Structure 1
Amino acid sequence: MEIDYKNIKVIGFDADDTLWVNETYFRDAEAEFCRLLSKYETPNKIDQELFKKEISNLPMYGYGVKAFVLSMVESALELSNYDIPNKTLEAILNIGKDMLKKPVELLDGVDVVLKTLSKKYRLILATKGDLLDQERKLEKSGLTDYFHHIEVLSDKKEDNYAKLLKHLDIHPSEFLMIGNSLKSDVLPLINIGAQAIHVPFHTTWAHEEVTDEDTNGKTYKTINTLKSLLKYF
């Protein structure tokens, strides 16, 4: 079924892994964490325990590098039976610092897509994570001027989006969200009466994965690259 976008007036974009590389750095950090903890457990067990710790900490720490580092420290303490050397803890903290210093690598076509769409539509950025880190990445990206509004959300659930659209006086039927996560950028929007386009990234955090049951009956378009948006707008 062809999806009609003629009523769209505002287009929202996710940031991490939609406009620039992000999850790849987390996978690299996890591999280094496993190396540092290799004397205590297998890589698979370390990965499992770290993921469980991240999920249990989400209500308190939220998303982002700093939350990730705190979960690594807690996991290291528990996996080592609280016998982790101070130097190893320092190395874990340095993993986080290195992540915060990473360059902002724009994905292919981002600049031309935003430049083209900003001439016809009002664009907003709706991302989640640590405010300071997201502001840093946005400034380094050089994309700030394309956006009418920038919002760093504590989470990306239906209520978060509904409050944002109400605040910006945007009717859901006139809003389209673009993002790499079905769980965070697509399904919540469809559920509140907006539209969404999925642009998959090659790496997805396990917490963002969805089942066929979650997407059953949901109408949205999936495109391979951000540049493909220009075929429709």
Structure 2
Amino acid sequence: MEKALSTIGFDADDTLWHNERFFKLTQTHFTELLADHADRDHLLDRLLAAEKRNIRHYGYGIKGFTLSMIETAIEVTGDRVPASVIRQLVEAGQDMLAHPIELLPHAREAIEAVTDTHKVILITKGDLIDQERKLAQSGLGELFDEVEIVSEKSAQNYRDIFARHGDGPESAMMVGNSMRSDVVAPIQAGCWGVYVPHGLVWEIEKAETPAGNPRYRELRDLGELADLVQRLS
């Protein structure tokens, strides 16, 4: 007999508030700064390769992204990138770290709709200081029973989190916009994986949709979450 749904995990970036669009804007600025050295597509390919390479060193988040931009700038200019460009890239990263939080539609209502009936956990990955800043500025912090900021959203981490804070992964649901991190990994752990498309997707977070899996669900937006939770509980 399948266990009843008792615990709901929410992703943060691009599920509850905007995030990826600021990376896209900064990437555009990056390609403009280095337009004399390489075309846009080549620069973005080199930057993505640097990000993938550097995740194991810097983790996820704005600081690692900024360092990857600087590294790419050095590479494509043959170590001749002007100091003024490095300075502008550092400033672009600082601007991202200071950007105000803008909630996505239905974010607060979706959480509030399930807090009385289920244990609610924020599960996010990235830089600890920046994620704590965004949560504080969002005004959503008091709605969560627990907050987990992890270095990676692996199936094992989901098993550990939902065992520690809930009744195990079989009684848990993860809600998010990343197919790889918020849907596929939780399903591998034994959870429900609920996909809420955002539109802008980081290449590293793409994965094949587990359409045939009985624990996969897709919503148009967070406004549909309460009905889904009621049906599965």
**1:216 Cα offset (Å):** 5.5
SS in 2 for 1:19: coil
Asked if residue 107 in structure 1 is aligned to residue 127 in structure 2, the reply is no
| Residues in 2 aligned to 1:11 and 1:36: alpha-carbon distance in whole angstroms | 43
1:179-220 alpha-carbon deviations (Å, 9 max, x no partner): 0011000111111211121101010001111135xx264231
Equivalence for 2:17: 20
Tell me by how many angstroms 1:163 deviates.
2.0
Task: Give the corresponding residue for 1:174.
Answer: 171
The answer to whether the 8 A contact 1:187-1:218 is kept is: no
Shift of the 137–147 alpha-carbon distance from structure 1 to 2, 3 Å rule, reads: same
Counterpart among 212, 215, 219 of residue 223 in structure 1: 219
Identify the residue that residue 138 of structure 2 maps to in structure 1.
141
1:42 partnered with 2:74: no
Equivalent in the alignment of 2:156? 159
Shift of 1:55: 0.1
Deviation at 1:13, TM superposition (A): 0.1
Q: Are 2:173 and 2:194, in contact at CA under 8 Å, matched by a contact in 1? A: yes
**Any idea what SS the aligned residue of 1:20 has?**
coil
Residues 14-43 of structure 1: CA distance to partner in whole angstroms, max 9, x if unpaired? 000000000011011100000011110000
Of residues 79, 82, 85, the one that matches 1:85 is: 82
**Distance apart, 1:166 and its partner CA:** 2.8
Correspondence for 1:58: 55
SS of residue in 2 equivalent to 1:29: helix
Q: Number of paired residues?
A: 228
Give the one of 129, 132, 135 matched to 2:129.
Answer: 132
Alpha carbons 2:159, 2:168 under 8 Å: kept: no
TM-score (norm 1): 0.94
Take 1:229 and 1:169, find their aligned partners in 2: how far apart are those partners?
Answer: 19
Query: Are the counterparts in 1 of residues 3 and 170 from structure 2 also a CA contact under 8 Å?
Result: no
State the distance in 2 between where 1:217 and 1:227 align. 24
Q: Secondary structure at the match of 1:135?
A: helix
Q: CA separation in 2, counterparts of 1:14 and 1:228?
A: 16
Q: What CA distance in whole angstroms lies between the structure 2 residues aligned with 1:29 and 1:170?
A: 41
Deviation larger for 51-60 or 156-165: 156-165
Name structure 1 gaps, 5 residues minimum: none
SS in 2 for 1:11: strand
Letter in 2 for 1:226: L
Separation in structure 1 between the aligned mates of residue 3 and residue 108 of structure 2, nearest angstrom: 23
Does residue 120 of the first structure (1) align with residue 117 of the second (2)?
A: yes
Letter in 2 for 1:218: N
Q: What are the Cα deviations for residues 97-156 of structure 1, in whole angstroms up to 9, with x where unaligned?
A: 010111101000111111121111110000001000000000000000110000111011
